[in-house]
Amino acid sequence: MELFEKYKGNNIAIYGIGKNAERLLKSLHGYKVVGLIDKEHWGEQFFGKTVFPIEEIVDKVDVIIIAASILSTAIVYKRIKNIVPNRILLYDSRGFRLNSSNNVSDNLYWKFSNSQMLSEIEKHKIISFDIFDTLIMRRVLEPRDIFRLVEWRLREKNIAIPFYDWRIASETEAIKKYGDCSFENIYSCMADKYALDTNVIEICQKLEKDTELDFIIPRHRTIEALNYARNLGKKVILISDMYFDHVFIEKMLHKCGVNSWDNLYISSEVKCNKGTGTMYDYVVQCECSTDILHIGNDVEADIKMAKQKSWNAFLVMDSKQMLYCSSIAYLQDKVKTFTDKLILGHIIARIFNDPFALSAFKGKYLFENAIDFGYSCISTVALAYVGWIVRKLSKEKNALVLFVSRDGYFLKKIYDLVKEKFKLPKSIYFYSSRMVAKMVNVRSELDIKELCRDINIYQDVQLSDFIAYKFGVKLDTSFDGKIRNILLDHGYAIIEKELMRHQDELLHHAAEQRMNYLSYIKQLGMEKYDKVFFVDLITHGTTYHALLKLMSEKLTLLAMGKYQADSEYMYSMLENLVDNNTHRYLYPVLEMSFASREGQLSGIKSSGEKEFLSGSEYDSALLDDLQLGIMTMVSDLEQNGINWIHNPISNDFAMAVLNIFSFHKTVFKRELVDRFSLFDFGNDENTLEYACCEIVD
């Protein structure tokens, strides 16, 4: 069933025992449905599945689907919503998430802290650490995503096999055959089951291990806790239910900076595991002590089973659990493509690397620096947009791409990274602005009046400054003052009269600027190209249409979002934004994030030198950090061979990620927010405050 395809590897329960449940169960053939839920009939069998009470099954499942009509679903949800833990995904049969914001702040885990973990370490003789998702972690949403990546890499080697499905099936068979199976056992089953020759098996084994190493990263906070235990003279042991042998696991640990421990216990080697509790019995025999604290991420295997065996245990949530319990849990429902899923894995590996990152603000992440903000919130939409541009231009042979200042600056950088690889058209950083594009098109008295039509929105601006901004020239006016006061005292007629008094001067300056600007355009040699593309961000098309009036070349607009109906020469990644207010807080943040260090273009001298509006520059250090964060994500994906061009990021997911910072979903340090001052003539404002983010000192 496509609606729940992403949860095929998770434990699922169906609420209901009627016809809806039967139909749903049939559609979920091949899924891990562990049982049914009903307020009665406990222990009975329906459709081959056992019925459990809701209170009992919540410890066994990751997903609950209510199989009922819309009305009945609402009744059931009201009855069970306070019983179902936040970590469990609760859906109706249509695939609609019911508990995406279910009591995020009430999670008891938010009371845990790093200091508590260190305090517990001090109390015990032996400190035991789980390995995967505790000391080290993969930059993926789910461990099985590694298998999908291996399948991608196999295709690049012209080995077209359904590795993901075969690898999962082979591991299941190996567990049945060998119990605590090894890596070699799994591949032995795969070779037999699918008649693969030795060479292919060896390639698959190597690729899986290489991919694991590529995606493994340290979990710094728990590694610090391990080093703290060592410095206290504690005995440190590592435990893992894992098919890899100690040689490869040690290689992974060393890569992540984990270099010191006393003993290492791996289920595939000792033939015991945490899940059944036999590993804990085995370790007690080997260590000759029960004074052991175990630190791990699995509630069942690492915490409940350890305590059942009389060990002490301390929970550290993994990044996926933290996502499910956080205020941004909605992101998991926005994943549409495997690339979306991989990027989400990268994001949570960064912001939830610290298992206590959500504790201070009870499920909300605190952004303290612009690098993390650029990486986690801005990079996804940047890649989605550039990927869309690349696919639009992939067949163009003799074309030129204009990335328009200022927000085209960093988009061009990303485009240029892949330009040679995909044989894309030449790109130019093109100097323009709404101010200049309109001003150079002033040719008559009517144009002067048209340019001042929006004067009412600049009520708190001095008239002389308004004229300088609109026309690029300082006039020796007969009077001056705030536009608000002039309009109240004299009306617009006196302003229009003053403009007409300087008509010749304004038209002369516009003509001079037009000549200079046309000279700049001519130097670019656009006439040599069959097509010229004009890349803008979110636009009304003001600059685009103004340039069309000025230039002989036909421009094709490529925009992330636009407010005009589609035409032959206007394309948009997003749907038309006529009735969409999202841009009000998204666009200013994106405009800053992609901008150059230069201010807004105010004109071009006869020498060709560019002139910029004084005071319109953004915080250059902020831009450095934002763009470093974005480029770090780009580098991470490129280094790991994730082709975000041909395996696109979905628009829904990109915009959902961008929303991480909006409407109180996350928290920002005041000192970071204060740096997001957006220049917009007559209306300087803070872009993040405008986006309704939560701010703390």
Model pLDDT for residues 269-305, shown as the tens digit of each residue: 999 999 999 999 999 999 999 999 999 999 889 999 9
Other beta carbons within 10 angstroms of residue 670's beta carbon come to: 9
Cβ-based burial of 593 (10 A; exposed 0-12, middle 13-18, buried ≥19): buried
Which tokens is 207 given? 């690729």
The H-or-E segment that residue 218 falls in is: strand 216-218
Q: How far is CA 535 from the centre of its chain?
A: 23
In the predicted structure, residue 455 carries a pLDDT above the cut 90: no
From 103-107, 272-276, 349-353, the region with the lowest mean pLDDT? 103-107
Report yes or no: 109 and 317 within 8 Å, Cβ to Cβ. yes
Placement of tokens 């591949």 in the chain: 187
CA distances to 245, 448, 534, 551 from 517, rounded to whole Å, are: 67, 19, 16, 10
Closest CA to 441 of 518, 499, 519: 518
Placement of tokens 């650490």 in the chain: 129
pLDDT in tens, 497-552: 888 888 999 999 999 999 999 999 999 999 899 999 999 988 878 888 888 888 87
Q: Which residues contact 657 (CB under 8 A, 6 or more apart)?
A: 331, 334, 343, 344, 347, 376, 377, 380, 381
H helix intervals, 310-461: 319-325, 331-334, 338-351, 370-373, 379-393, 408-419, 434-439, 445-451
Strands 610-612 and 601-604 turn out to be: antiparallel
Residue-level length of the chain: 697
Which tokens is 13 given? 């329960």
Query: What is the percent of the chain where pLDDT is above 90?
Result: 63
What span, in angstroms and rounded, lies between the C-alpha atoms of 405 and 594? 10
Cβ-based burial of 161 (10 A; exposed 0-12, middle 13-18, buried ≥19): middle
Placement of tokens 């005292």 in the chain: 489
Closest CA to 653 of 441, 353, 401, 342: 342
The H-or-E segment that residue 64 falls in is: strand 63-66
From 263-277, 283-297, 454-468, 679-693, the region with the lowest mean pLDDT? 679-693
Beta strands in 554-647 (DSSP E): 555-562, 570-572, 601-604, 610-612
Report yes or no: 595 and 626 within 8 Å, Cβ to Cβ. no
The mean per-residue pLDDT over the stretch 490-502 comes to 87
What span, in angstroms and rounded, lies between the C-alpha atoms of 597 and 587? 18
In the predicted structure, residue 209 carries a pLDDT above the cut 80: yes
